[in-house]
Amino acid sequence: MRYWWVNHKQTFKQEFEGGYIWCPKRKRNGTLNHFYETLREVQKGDLVFSYAGALLQGVGIVKAACYSCPRPNEFGKIGEAWDTLGWRADVDFKKFPNPLRVIDSAAKIAPLLPDRYSPIQASGHGNQGAYLSEISLSLATRLLELADPHLVGLTKAGSVQEGDSHSEISDPLVLLEWEDRIQDSIAAKTLIPETTRRALIQARRGQGLFKREVARFEHECRITRVDNPTHLVASHIKPWRESTNDERLAGGNGLLLTPSVDHLFDRGFISFSDEGEVLISPVADRVSVKKMGVVCEGPIFTGRFNSDQMHFLEYHRTQIFLKAEI
């Protein structure tokens, strides 16, 4: 379990009531931002403290690992409007009965603030530019003691891990709705030949023309070594939902994977280096990943990729893989 402090700023109402946190992937100038990158390592069961309007408003339990997602429509013209894709984690927020005015408790909080990337200043005032900061167990406990002592038990490891295990392998509703909108848009474009439209829609499920294109140079799952096409799907390296129509059918944008490995790859729990080394996210549950066929001990190499695959793998590592770069 890890502990986080989010400074909602203008988007507090949308995020808190909507049950999520979201940030763009880059700064306005295109560079990485530590306070955005941290969201890539948020995982199920973590605690997130909500701060807005000089008050610690509540605390939430993360329902599933972070994922790449479009900017929420409800943000409208507020918030970080320069980037349409960002990082999102769904959080079950609960408001404190009496939100904590942080500046009044600064003396009790300041000694426990992070030395680097603190969400607030020692004075209790907000830290300009900070969105999501990791905090210590000690600070998390202190915040709950000050805001709502009845919730101190939330900081105990394992206290919030229960839940529907099916949610671990099913895609978030937001992603399914996003893909459905894209599919409907493709189906409605009569200027695209019907056979192409059908191929684009089949490619969403890793089947049809796209699978045949990928199978020209990929002949088995690189992880499990299953080679029966019946048990393999063509997995997009750059996800179908984030690709152009040309990329959705490009064989170089694919791997043949078993369904469980496809899930891990699509959601960013694993990735690959250009040389073929399997990369495992720090967010991934090692026990589950191992049961799904991924060896977690020592470096595992699956063979180099061709130049087209390397191009798309760069995107996957920087835009999908759940590991902060800074």
What is the pLDDT averaged over residues 263-280? 96
Hey, which residues does 272 pair with through a beta bridge? 278
Percent of the chain clearing pLDDT 70 (strictly above): 94
CATH 3.10.590.10, the chain: domain bounds: 3-163
Helix or strand holding residue 256 (H, E)? strand 254-257
Rounding to the nearest 10 degrees, give the CA dihedral for residues 168, 283, 321, 33. Answer: 130
Give per-residue pLDDT as tens, 304-319.
Answer: 999 999 999 999 999 9
Cα angle 55-127-81, degrees, rounded to a multiple of 5 = 90
**CB distance 302 to 273 below 8 Å:** no
Q: How would residue 162 be classed by pLDDT, with cut points 50, 70 and 90?
A: very low
pLDDT at 1 over 50: yes
**CB distance 208 to 198 below 8 Å:** yes
**Tokens at residue 196, please?**
């192409």
Hey, which residues does 233 pair with through a beta bridge? 257
Give per-residue pLDDT as tens, 214-268.
Answer: 999 999 999 999 999 999 999 999 999 999 999 999 999 999 999 999 999 999 9
Give per-residue pLDDT as tens, 95-122.
Answer: 999 999 999 999 999 999 999 999 999 9
- Model confidence pTM above 0.85: yes
Q: What is the sign of the dihedral through the CA atoms of 283, 288, 289 and 292?
A: negative
Note the CATH architecture for domain 3-163. Answer: Roll (3.10)
Query: Which amino acid is residue 132, in one-letter code?
Result: L
The CA–CA distances, whole Å, from 321 to 41, 63, 196, 271, 273 equal 10, 18, 30, 6, 11
